[in-house]
A and B are shown apart, each in its own frame.
Chain A
Amino acid sequence: MASIMRPSLLRQSQTASQRVYSTFARQPSPLTQHLRPAFAPVPSTRIAAFHATQRQAILPALPQKITGTLNEPTVVPDPTPAHGSYHWSFERLVSAGLIPLTVAPFAAGSLNPVMDATLCALLVVHSHIGFEACIIDYFPKRRVPNLYKASMWALRLGTITLGVALYSFETNDIGVTELIAKLWNA
């Protein structure tokens, strides 16, 4: 007799245990309980997530890859001054140099072509460094190596094109500072 009772007992205990983890306590109707095969998973039962807050993601997670053993998730790059302090000082020098070059033409009211060309060159370098930092941050090399490489080369190509364009504008036209001043008072 006990062996005949077992399947229905098991079925009841299974649904009961699932109901414990369910976020909503909805009792399935007796009819569906009878029609459902004995041990099929209950489709209406939702297993409660570990986190109580709603999941919000702007973008799906990038693919993850593990190199080496389990406890070495990242590879620490070799320290080199070209990627560290020199690079850092160069960036600060360019940023600090942009301040007088931006202020001087408007403050003094005089427009010097050499100064304008220097401003353009520094703007190109500053923009390139800025976009490079964005690529490094948002397309990490160890996660999306191909996208990283492609966007880096696209940026290099874009920066060279911008350099050519600004050279052309500086030599054939009136220059960036003059153009902005004239557009402002147009």
Chain B
Amino acid sequence: MSSMRVFQLGLRRAAAPAFRGNFAGRMVQRRLANSQSTSASSAEEILVKQRVNRPVSPHLAIYRPQITWYGSMFNRLTGIILSGGLYLFGFAYLAAPTLGWHLESQSLIAAVAGWSTWAKASAKFGLSMPFFYHSLNGVRHLVWDTGKALSNKAVMQSGWAVVGASVAASLYFSFLA
């Protein structure tokens, strides 16, 4: 190598300090994923953490609406409505003297007597529909508890029978009785 070339190479290196040494250095790729070694116990810990992030099962709406599970759902819903109403009335009745409310039977009856016929009928229907559905479905449950009418067909038939009977009874007691 001539002394001239050595001189030129030195100049070039001095001018570009970043490229000093390995010339291919600028081509080294940046790794986005870095790895680290784990012990057996920490591997299990990571797995436990991963399992905590497991997905939840899909939403109820992916299932086809069927009388079996819809009936069961409405049984719980109507039960919550009825019992929730009872609890709320109880709390309000206890709090009434302090809050100055009038929830004695006379004032309640007098208040309802002032309602229009349609208001009365719809209030009756709104109360009797959950009541009859929950009561009749409760009888259905008690029949199941004896081990009877548990085939798929029987469950579907009794489900629709309860729906029909509760609608009929609610209509009768709201508008006729």
A residues in contact (CB < 8 Å) with B: 3-4, 6-7, 10, 38-39, 41, 53, 56-58, 61, 63-66, 70, 92, 95-96, 98-99, 102, 123, 126-127, 130-131, 134, 158, 161-162, 164-166, 168-169, 173-174, 178-179, 182-184, 186
Contact = CB atoms under 8 A, between A and B. Distances in A.
A41 B109 CA distance: 71
Q: Which 5 A-B pairs have the closest CB atoms?
A: A165-B90, A127-B83, A162-B90, A56-B59, A186-B112
Nearest to B89: A165
Contacts of B177: 184
Contacts of A183: 108-109, 112
- Chain B, interface residues (CB within 8 Å), range: 35 or more
B27 A4 contact: yes
A63 B90 CA distance: 35
Contacts of B142: 92, 95-96
Contacts of B18: none
A179 B108 contact: yes
A127 B109 contact: no
Contacts of B139: 99
A22 B86 CA distance: 55
B93 A169 contact: yes
A4 B54 CA distance: 44
Q: Is the interface of B mostly helix, strand, loop or mixed?
A: helix
B83 A61 contact: no
Interface of B: 24, 27, 29-30, 32, 44, 47-48, 51-52, 54-56, 58-59, 61-62, 76, 79-80, 83, 86-87, 89-91, 93-94, 104-105, 108-110, 112-113, 120, 124, 135, 138-139, 141-142, 145, 173, 177
By CB atoms of chain A within 10 A, which of B30, B105, B141 has the most? B105
Please report whether the interface of chain A is mostly helix, strand, loop or mixed according to DSSP.
helix
20 contacts: A3-B24, A4-B27, A7-B27, A10-B29, A64-B54, A70-B47, A70-B51, A95-B141, A127-B87, A130-B80, A161-B94, A162-B86, A165-B89, A165-B93, A166-B90, A168-B93, A169-B93, A178-B105, A183-B112, A184-B177
